[in-house]
Each structure stands twice: as C-alpha cells, then as structure tokens.
Homo-oligomer: A and B are copies of this chain.
Amino acid sequence: MSLRYALLALLNVEPMTGYDLHKVFESSVGHVWYAPDSQIYPELRKMEAQGLVRGEDIPWGKKATKRRYHITPAGSGEFEAWMNSPLEYSRVRDPAHLRAAYLEYAAPESARAQLKAHIEHHETLLRQWNQKILEIDTDTSTMLTRRLATLPADQRQRSRAFKRFAYEGLIARAEAEIAWANSGLRLLDDLPPEA
C-alpha cells in the first residue's frame, strides 16, 4: 500500500512520467522503498482513475508522446491524510534471523560465510546511505534540491532535517546488523567444534 504514497510524495515535488519515477525509485526513494516499473505504470493509471493524479500527454520528439503525471488536490489530501495516520506494523518476517536461529544446521564454514555476507551487504548499504547524507548536507541531491526550491526559506531546514533523520535511522540499523553479525563470528570462534 505504501507504493502509492511514495509516488505521491515524489509527485508533490514536480510532475513526472512513469519512467522518471522509476528512475528515482532506483536511486533516492529506492533506498527506503523499491518498486519496479512494472508496478509503477499500472499504479499510476489506477491512481489517475481515482483522481489522485492527472496525466497529460506531452510531445516527445516528432511522433511520440509521453505521459506526465501531476498530483491533484485530492492526491495531496490523500497523502497528507496518510502522513497523519498511524503507521501499521506488519508482522515480523525476517529471513536472516530465521536462519540465525537454526544456524546449528549449517556447516561452520558456511555459517561463517553467511555472516560475512551479512556484514558486506549492510556495509554496502551503509556506504550508499552515508553518501546520501553527504548529498543532503552539500545540496547535491537532485530531488531534494528541487524539493527545497519549492519551499519558503524557513521550511528548508525542517525538510532537510527529516531527510537526514530517515537516513540516520537506516544507518543505525545497518550498524546494528554489522555488530550483530560480528558477534556471531566471534560465537563461531568460541564454540567448541562439532563432535
């Protein structure tokens, strides 16, 4: 259900085509919410049918057109309503911790490799997110810069602070995952070898 709101959040900044949105999903928003284009295009049409966005065909080259969507007042309303509604927490479904609980069934070298992969995975995320924080601080993030341009000066700090806040949370989580996996590696070292 969040895809719709992620799209509305982006269209709040400026009108975009499905293709534009899909690209943004691969870079900025994609860090909190991924969506493939095969999901974006139909969702946009559904949202248009419900009056949350309106699309217009704009010329592209000589023969072609592309469809650019902009948010409607109903769409803004829907988005703000969602932003002010309590978050629904879905039940835990966590492959990594499921596996950890049964790590005794894995060969020790395999367990070690998996924990190392866990660390590497989260270190990659960490690098991406730290990069994002840097972009926020130095004003080199395209989407955020555009967003800030639409705001009065006194609200820019606010906007920037929340973006930073979101990424800081992701970073803290990734660091916790890395620390946990490291403690797992230590556990493997300390555990007596299997009989």
Contact = CB atoms under 8 A, between A and B. Distances in A.
Interface of A: 2, 5-6, 9, 12, 29-34, 79-80, 83-84, 86-107, 110, 113-114, 117-118, 121, 125, 152, 154-155, 157-159, 161-163, 165-170, 172-173, 175-177, 179-180, 183-184, 187, 191-192, 194-195
A185 B98 CA distance: 32
Nearest to A195: B154
Q: Is the interface of A mostly helix, strand, loop or mixed?
A: helix
Nearest to A170: B97
Given A34-B92, A93-B2, A101 B166 contact: yes
Contacts of A113: 86
A118 to B, nearest CB: 7
B162 A169 contact: no
